[in-house]
Chains A and B, each alone.
Chain A
Amino acid sequence: EIVLTQSPDTLSLSPGESATLFCRASPLVTTNYLAWYQHKPGHAPRLVMFAATSRASGIPDRFSGSGSGTNFTLTISRLEPEDFAVFYCQQYQGTPRTFGHGTRVEI
């Protein structure tokens, strides 16, 4: 089973600032099948990034993903009020699919 560790637990930022979220995989995700999801309370989670670096449909270009193997990063430039949420990374290289514990991006 691939264990994903996210950091930091919480990011306290203001609109207009940038957010950098980290996700470390052990063992490594050899296929780069790594996704990021945005989750707001009472809402369905939303796919933001897939294959580590590809933006999902409808996701603005202020979201970007990078990394491979063990270390992955989600960067949100110029935070908008609607961006504040909990973000989870997930590997889908095989089953069981595993998630990180989440990073809360808060104002």
Chain B
Amino acid sequence: QEQLVESGGGVVQPGGSLRLSCTVPSFISKYSFLHWVRQAPGKGLEWVAVISFDGSKIYSADSLKGRFTISRDTSKNTLFLKMTSLSADDTAVYYCAKSSTMSTSPFDHWGQGTLVTVSS
């Protein structure tokens, strides 16, 4: 089964920024809703944000306080997550996932994740 593929993770200093990417197979990308989900070390899964297939609808977790921005380039089948003002609490594996609708279908495709470590 083709999967989504995340990239862009790494080590970043507190207060820094990072942009993650997720390549989506073309047969999945069209008309799909794409999400970011993260998992901090030793913790469970936390939903981060979602974007509609045309980019017109975006929702993010309130806890992120506007620091994270989700976007997509449909022509390149790529999803992005721009993260700013990073702190140690943002250290996590970041996954991209796909659903068929904004809020009435589960995540039926996932990536394997990319690790973001916020440390000085």
Chain A contacts to B: CB under 8 angstroms: 31, 33, 35, 37, 39, 42-47, 50, 56-57, 88, 90, 92-102
Residue B45 interfacial (CB < 8 Å): yes
How many residues belonging to B are interface residues under a CB distance threshold of 8 Å? 26
A-B pair count, CB < 8 Å, reads: 68
Instruction: Check if B104 sits within 8 Å of A92, measured CB to CB.
Output: yes
Docked complex Cα distance between A98 and B47 (Å): 7
Instruction: Check if A97 sits within 8 Å of B47, measured CB to CB.
Output: yes
Docked complex Cα distance between A95 and B62 (Å): 10
Instruction: Check if A35 sits within 8 Å of B59, measured CB to CB.
Output: no
Docked complex Cα distance between A33 and B103 (Å): 9
Which residues of B from 24 to 78 have beta carbons under 8 Å from A?
Answer: 35, 43-47, 50, 59, 61-62
Instruction: Check if B113 sits within 8 Å of A44, measured CB to CB.
Output: yes
Docked complex Cα distance between A99 and B10 (Å): 25
Instruction: Check if A46 sits within 8 Å of B110, measured CB to CB.
Output: yes
